[in-house]
């Protein structure tokens, strides 16, 4: 990645930025809707370059995700082995809802106007072939904190661990170079959260609030923190990471304060296991206490194919 050229299309490891737009669309039944979607996705790299070249220092990037329900007709390719609709996760107290969405555009840069311009041009091209399901504009909050006041994203992989954690490899030949994406739009009960002492908040999160120091895990069988419940190991004790690019969103005037969760992973089961542990609990019945103050409004799964796959969609 060079400052002389735009960021490549579908770079799921593009830098964290100060602004992002999360655009979820459904494909309509309009005549030639699928054809229009295919041609637009095939030229997404050109559209991104058209916007990114205006300020190369703004780190503009766009990642496209395609949902399970439209994968076959939009791509005509074998479906990634783990791709399926977001499953409802129902715990004793809280539920992770499943909501519609055929296409995801994760648009981000250091400039809100670049994101705006790209989205405008994108929707002009797509026309009546799509319908907007959800549009959320996120922003960086101080030193990458969420609106609950804690640093967000500390557990992200770094260095060589990034592609190893987020890009599908030889285990699924048809999906090599792509990444699973899970999104959830959470709104926070700030009034309730503020009634807690800092020490109580820290116990829920698993880190200190001021300096982001990781706290020790609770003993087995006791209430686990958000940090602990989101630490995933396989049957061999190997820990698996995901890449989070979460963003705060909201409007003080309308009383809305939220976090847009977006997780990229080489293995979809890793994120789904996180959700099971959060909502059902580990052990069962001890759900993630952050859910007592954070309610999901959406839940959708996508797959971001390699750039070469998108570029080939308009060949037939």
Active site residues: 152
Contact between residue 211 and residue 134 where contact means Cβ atoms under 8 Å apart: no
Contact between residue 61 and residue 48 where contact means Cβ atoms under 8 Å apart: yes
Rounded CA-CA distance 286/299 in Å is 22
Classify residue 211 as exposed, middle or buried by CB count within 10 Å of its CB (0-12, 13-18, 19+): exposed
Contacts of 151 (CB under 8 A, 6+ apart): 143, 144, 145, 207, 212
**Length of the chain, please?**
316
Rounded CA-CA distance 237/217 in Å is 16
Classify residue 299 as exposed, middle or buried by CB count within 10 Å of its CB (0-12, 13-18, 19+): buried
Contacts of 166 (CB under 8 A, 6+ apart): 12, 13, 157, 179, 242, 243, 264, 265, 266
Query: Could you say which DSSP state residue 207 is in?
Result: B
Q: Is the dihedral of CA 111, 114, 117, 122 positive or negative?
A: negative
Contact between residue 21 and residue 111 where contact means Cβ atoms under 8 Å apart: no
Q: Which of 102, 141, 43, 133 is nearest to 303 (CA)?
A: 102
């Amino acid at each position: 990645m060079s400052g002389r050229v735009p960021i490549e299309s579908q770079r799921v490891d593009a830098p964290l930025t100060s602004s992002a737009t999360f655009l979820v669309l459904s494909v309509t039944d309009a005549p030639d809707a699928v054809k229009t979607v295919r041609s637009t996705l095939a030229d997404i790299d050109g559209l991104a370059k058209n916007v990114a070249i205006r300020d190369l220092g703004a780190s503009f990037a766009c990642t496209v995700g395609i949902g399970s329900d439209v994968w076959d007709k939009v791509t005509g390719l074998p479906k990634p082995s783990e791709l399926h609709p977001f499953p409802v996760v129902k715990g004793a107290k809280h539920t992770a809802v499943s909501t519609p969405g055929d296409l995801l555009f994760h648009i981000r840069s250091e400039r809100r106007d670049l994101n705006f311009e790209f989205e405008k041009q994108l929707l002009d091209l797509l026309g009546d072939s799509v319908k907007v399901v959800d549009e959320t504009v996120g922003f960086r909050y101080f030193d990458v904190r969420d609106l609950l006041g804690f640093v967000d994203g500390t557990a992200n992989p770094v260095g060589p661990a990034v592609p190893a954690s987020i890009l599908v490899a030889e285990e699924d030949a048809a999906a090599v170079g792509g990444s699973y994406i899970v999104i959830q739009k959470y709104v926070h009960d700030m009034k309730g959260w503020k009634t807690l002492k800092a020490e109580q908040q820290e116990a829920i999160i698993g880190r200190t609030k001021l300096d982001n120091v990781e706290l020790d895990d609770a003993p087995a069988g006791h209430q686990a923190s958000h940090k602990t419940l989101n630490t995933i190991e396989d049957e061999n004790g190997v820990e698996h990471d995901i890449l989070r690019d979460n963003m705060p969103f909201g409007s003080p005037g309308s009383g809305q304060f939220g976090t847009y969760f977006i997780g990229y992973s080489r293995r979809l089961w890793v994120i789904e296991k996180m959700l099971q542990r959060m909502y059902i609990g580990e052990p069962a019945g001890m759900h993630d206490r952050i859910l007592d103050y954070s309610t999901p409004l959406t839940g959708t799964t996508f797959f971001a194919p390699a750039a070469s796959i998108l570029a080939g969609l308009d060949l037939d």
